């Protein structure tokens, strides 16, 4: 209500502020979220959980990390009980896997899931990384991880009936290798994350077929060995 006693609609206030070039609070200036992600891509690694339902109606959880700059994928583990202690171990495994490359990463982007906790954040802060939390119920703020989880489902999990944790780890390990070493990425001029340049020989363009062959071939060999 204005001081003169006249009630002003919210739309009127918005029109006045918009005409004056004043953006909605709390941001008054600076880059948008998309501009920030684009500008800082080389220094961001994002994390997210996703679930896997087995044929025995058991729910498993996997934790993925994605380096924005290189699009390199890390699937650190699968468990039926994703506790904070388990997440801390996954953070340690990732930092060990990254090796000296972790010095090039400055930000960890994650949501506000209780499964992370202060202890897992401390693993990354020890590497001088800043923790960036996405807004509540805003999965698009971590769109890169949401997209890779969709790719994992469409290209691997939708084609295989998962039996248990060991089976899920096996399938996801094959997919991670395929994704990093063979799967082309538009953002990298059709290069896989681990390929510094175009391979000399053309690969089978049917990447789904190649992936299924590798997964099923590995599973057949594993079952023969177990038998």
Distance, in Å, from the CA atom of 99 to the CA atom of 106, rounded to the nearest integer, reads 14
Query: Could you say which architecture CATH assigns to the domain 33-226?
Result: 2-Layer Sandwich (3.30)
Please spell the DSSP secondary structure of 201-226, one letter per residue. SPPPS-HHHHHHHHHHHHHHHHHHHH
Distance, in Å, from the CA atom of 132 to the CA atom of 140, rounded to the nearest integer, reads 14
Low pLDDT (below 70) residues in the chain? 1-5, 23-30, 197-227
The domain segmentation of the chain, as residue ranges, is: 33-226
* Per-residue pLDDT at 208: 59
- pLDDT tens digits, 131-169: 999 988 888 899 999 999 999 999 999 999 999 999 999
CA angle 209, 218, 168 (to 5 degrees): 90
* Per-residue pLDDT at 227: 40
Name which of 207, 175, 176 is nearest 190 in CA terms.
207
For the chain, give the number of residues: 227
């Amino acid at each position: 209500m204005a001081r003169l006693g006249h009630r002003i609609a919210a739309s009127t206030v918005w029109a006045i502020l918009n005409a004056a070039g004043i953006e909605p609070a709390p941001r008054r200036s600076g880059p948008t979220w998309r501009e920030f992600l684009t500008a800082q891509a080389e220094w961001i690694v994002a994390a997210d959980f996703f679930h896997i339902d087995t044929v025995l109606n058991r729910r498993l959880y996997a934790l993925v990390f994605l380096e924005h700059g290189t699009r390199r994928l890390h699937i650190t583990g699968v468990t039926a009980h994703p506790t904070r202690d388990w997440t801390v171990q996954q953070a340690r495994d990732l930092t060990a896997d990254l090796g000296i490359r972790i010095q090039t990463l400055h930000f960890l982007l994650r949501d506000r899931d209780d499964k992370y906790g202060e202890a897992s954040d401390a693993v990354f802060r020890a590497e001088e990384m800043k923790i960036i939390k996405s807004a509540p119920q805003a999965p698009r703020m971590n769109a890169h991880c949401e997209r890779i989880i969709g790719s994992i489902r469409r290209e691997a999990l939708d084609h295989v009936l998962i039996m248990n944790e060991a089976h899920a780890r096996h399938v996801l390990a094959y997919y991670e290798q395929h994704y990093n070493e063979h799967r082309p990425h538009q953002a990298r001029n059709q290069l896989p994350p681990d390929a510094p340049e175009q391979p000399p020989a053309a690969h089978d363009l049917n990447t789904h077929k190649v992936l299924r062959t590798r997964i099923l071939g590995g599973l057949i060999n594993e079952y023969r060995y177990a038998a």
